[in-house]
């Protein structure tokens, strides 16, 4: 059975996706996240019985370059290994990393993002089939 993949990067993103996740049976969805603050323990506690995979650890983040080369690039490579075309029917994220892999492997995907930084949006626009942003005032 193909599943839905939901990739979460921050605790507020988990709060945004939590009700959507709970509408799926545990065998219909997989949740990927990063080890960032209390995100992983909170997700495990709030979603008992769901498959949660932690990829990347922010304790290694010492600035922009370490974030890129110790977290983001290794995480994208690991996502490429883990995400199979026949395994997932849809990818839903609040960042661009899993969307990028979905784009490469032909898996439909959507990104919801509230990051107003100019360098993030081009990645999202390239990677995701659809991008939803809140109005920035």
- Measure the CA–CA gap between 107 and 104, rounded to whole angstroms: 8
Domain 3-132 in CATH 3.40.50.2000: yes
- Measure the CA–CA gap between 84 and 88, rounded to whole angstroms: 7
Q: DSSP of 31-71, one letter per residue?
A: EEEEE-TTHHHHHHHHSTTSEEEEEEEGGG--SHHHIIIII
On whether the CB atoms of residues 8 and 98 are closer than 8 A, the answer is no
Q: C-alpha 22: how far from its chain's center?
A: 16
- Measure the CA–CA gap between 6 and 112, rounded to whole angstroms: 11
Question: What are the extents of the domains in the chain?
Answer: 3-132
Mean pLDDT, 10 residues at a time, the chain of 137 residues:
91 94 97 92 97 84 80 91 89 92 95 77 88 76
pLDDT for position 86? 82
Q: C-alpha 6: how far from its chain's center?
A: 6
pLDDT for position 56? 82
**Residue 110 DSSP symbol:** E
Read off the tokens for 62: 């010492």
């Amino acid at each position: 059975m193909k599943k839905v993949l939901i990739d979460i990067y921050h605790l507020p993103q988990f709060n945004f996706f939590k009700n959507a996740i709970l509408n799926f049976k545990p065998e219909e969805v997989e949740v990927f996240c990063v080890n960032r603050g209390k995100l992983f323990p909170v997700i495990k506690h709030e979603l008992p019985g769901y498959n949660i995979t932690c990829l990347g650890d922010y304790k290694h983040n010492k600035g922009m370059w370490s974030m890129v080369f110790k977290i983001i690039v290794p995480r994208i490579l690991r996502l490429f290994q883990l995400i199979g075309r026949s395994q997932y029917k849809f990818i839903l994220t609040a960042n661009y990393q899993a969307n990028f892999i979905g784009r490469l492997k032909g898996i439909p995907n959507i990104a919801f993002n509230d990051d107003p930084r100019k360098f993030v949006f081009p990645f999202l626009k390239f990677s995701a089939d659809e991008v939803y942003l809140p109005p920035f005032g």
